[in-house]
């Protein structure tokens, strides 16, 4: 059995730089027509100059495989002229609360001071993508942040706002209260709960921000995604860290899921008996919300068992060693 996806998109992706970029970009380019590229490099991507250089490096790393990098600028205070100049080259601005996740130290410290820049985004119709967590208790960070999303959605009703990598039932509920709000959901948050991370032997590969939540939260995410909620978009948040940064004291946050995304998603949708909705989740919803017209690209899956590699160079992928029912078919 075969499955052909037209223009699958990964709406939240970390590709890093240099050797790591060269290593991971082909995994995404083999499965997706494009992806939203996160700007949290060691030196954040917060200028048009840096963004152009990064974009060129990404295209280079894809080595001829067609892949559209939808670039984001790291949120800071911007002038109208800067945003006007960048508008045609970005898909949005990415906001991180300071220090809340990997390489976010130069993020926002005072949310009372972001209004001017957000008003410009609304006016210029540039989407705002947000890592929505407070610095509260780790299991409550996303729920606590929902009041910020609410404030943004109500104060800037024409702003297109994306809640990145949502993990809670309450975030799913919030989505239904505002037409201008969308959200990305990762593969791993559809598959695991906190139990998988810390319930047995500690699994550093599964440690990420936001941390995986309860079975009830996972169920709410699954139900909304599998029912085809039109403003839920697939965003892997594939976030590679070398094994020596994962398997050590002070494990870095991030799940490297890029090699397994479409096979594992196909399996999940098939098990829920709604394989026909996969294309909506991995492409149509994002195309509609962001008004994208990616260059045409088909990705083919075949229903044949495939065992995920234990190791991918310096990385250990999500679902390492597990056998999946689908694999990506390479066609010349």
Ligand X SMILES: NC(=O)N[C@@H](CC(=O)O)C(=O)O
Residues lying near ligand X in the complex (CB under 6 A): 14, 40, 101-102, 131, 208-209, 237, 239, 253-254
**Which of these segments, 98-106, 222-230, 275-283, 288-296, binds Zn ion (CB under 5 A)?**
98-106
CA distance 93 to 87: 10
CA distance 281 to 235: 9
The minimum distance between CB 202 and ligand X, in angstroms, equals 16
Which H helix or E strand runs over 331? none
- Residue among 7 and 236 whose Cβ is closer to ligand X: 236
Is 94 annotated to bind ligand? Answer: yes
Is 131 annotated to bind ligand? Answer: yes
What are 302's strand-pairing partners? 2, 327
Whether 112 is a known active-site residue: answer no
- Residue among 189 and 327 whose Cβ is closer to Zn ion: 189
HSE-CB at 163 with a 13 A cutoff on CA atoms is: 33
Binding mask 192-231 for Zn ion (x = CB under 5 A): ----------------------------------------
Task: Report the residue closest to Zn ion, judged by CB.
Answer: 131
The minimum distance between CB 239 and ligand X, in angstroms, equals 3
Q: Which of 205, 217, 237, 280 is catalytic?
A: 237
CA distance 123 to 135: 30
The minimum distance between CB 34 and Zn ion, in angstroms, equals 16
Read out DSSP for 37-71? EP--SSS---SHHHHHHHHHHHHHHTTTS--EEEE
* CA-wise closest residue to 74 among 54, 104, 113: 104
Annotate 230-282 with three-state secondary structure.
CCEEECCCECCCCHHHHCCCCCCCCECCHHHHHHHHHHHHHHCCCHHHHHHHH
Residues 230-249 that bind Zn ion (CB under 5 A): 237
**Which of these segments, 124-132, 211-219, 298-306, 317-325, binds Zn ion (CB under 5 A)?**
124-132
CA distance 53 to 48: 9
- Residue among 131 and 297 whose Cβ is closer to Zn ion: 131
Is 12 annotated to bind ligand? Answer: yes
Is 253 annotated to bind ligand? Answer: yes
Residues 129-188 that bind Zn ion (CB under 5 A): 131
- Residue among 41 and 264 whose Cβ is closer to ligand X: 41
Is 14 annotated to bind ligand? Answer: yes
Chain center to CA of 7:
16
In angstroms, the Cα distances linking 115 to 27, 54, 223, 295 are: 38, 28, 34, 35
- Residue among 209 and 316 whose Cβ is closer to ligand X: 209
Is 2 annotated to bind ligand? Answer: no
- Residue among 104 and 283 whose Cβ is closer to ligand X: 104
Name residues whose C-beta falls within 8 Å of residue 322's C-beta, 6 or more positions apart in sequence: 307, 308
Is 165 annotated to bind ligand? Answer: yes
- Residue 283 interacting partner from ligand X, Zn ion, none (CB closer than 5 to 8 Å by kind): none
* Residue 176, SS3 per DSSP: coil
- Catalytic residue ranges: 237
Q: Which residues bind Zn ion (CB under 5 A)?
A: 101, 131, 237
Please give the annotated binding residues, written as ranges: 12, 14-16, 40, 94, 131, 165, 237, 241, 253
Annotated binding site for Zn(2+): 12, 14, 94, 131, 165, 237
| Binding residue positions for substrate | 14-16, 40, 131, 241, 253
């Amino acid at each position: 059995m075969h499955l052909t996806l037209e223009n699958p998109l990964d709406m939240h992706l970390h590709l890093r730089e240099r050797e790591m970029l060269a290593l991971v970009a082909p995994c995404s380019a083999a499965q997706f027509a494009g992806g939203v590229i996160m700007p949290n490099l060691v030196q954040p991507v917060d200028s048009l100059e840096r963004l152009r250089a990064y974009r060129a490096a990404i295209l280079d790393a894809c080595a001829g495989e067609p892949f559209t990098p939808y670039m984001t600028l790291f949120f800071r205070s911007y002038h109208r002229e800067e945003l006007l100049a960048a508008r045609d080259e970005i898909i949005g601005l990415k906001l991180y609360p300071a220090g809340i996740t990997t390489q976010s130290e130069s993020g926002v410290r005072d949310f009372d001071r972001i209004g001017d820049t957000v008003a410009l985004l609304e006016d210029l119709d540039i989407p705002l993508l947000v890592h929505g967590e407070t610095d509260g208790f780790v299991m409550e960070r996303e729920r606590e942040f929902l009041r910020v999303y609410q404030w943004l959605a109500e104060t800037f009703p024409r702003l297109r706002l994306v809640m990145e990598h949502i993990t809670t039932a309450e975030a799913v509920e919030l989505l239904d209260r505002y037409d201008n709000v969308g959200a990305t959901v990762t593969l791993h948050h559809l598959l695991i709960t906190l139990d998988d991370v810390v319930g047995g032997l500690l699994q550093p590969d599964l440690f990420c921000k936001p941390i995986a939540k309860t079975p009830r939260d996972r169920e709410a995410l699954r139900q909304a995604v599998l029912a085809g909620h039109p403003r839920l978009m697939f965003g892997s948040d594939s976030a590679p860290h070398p094994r020596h940064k994962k398997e050590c004291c002070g494990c870095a946050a991030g799940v490297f899921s890029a090699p397994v995304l479409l096979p594992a998603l196909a399996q999940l949708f098939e098990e829920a008996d709604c394989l026909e909705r996969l294309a909506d989740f991995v492409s149509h919803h994002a195309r509609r919300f962001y008004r994208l017209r990616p260059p045409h690209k088909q990705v083919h899956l075949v229903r044949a068992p495939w065992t995920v590699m234990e190791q991918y160079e310096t990385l250990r992928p999500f679902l390492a060693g597990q056998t999946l029912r689908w694999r990506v078919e390479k066609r010349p």
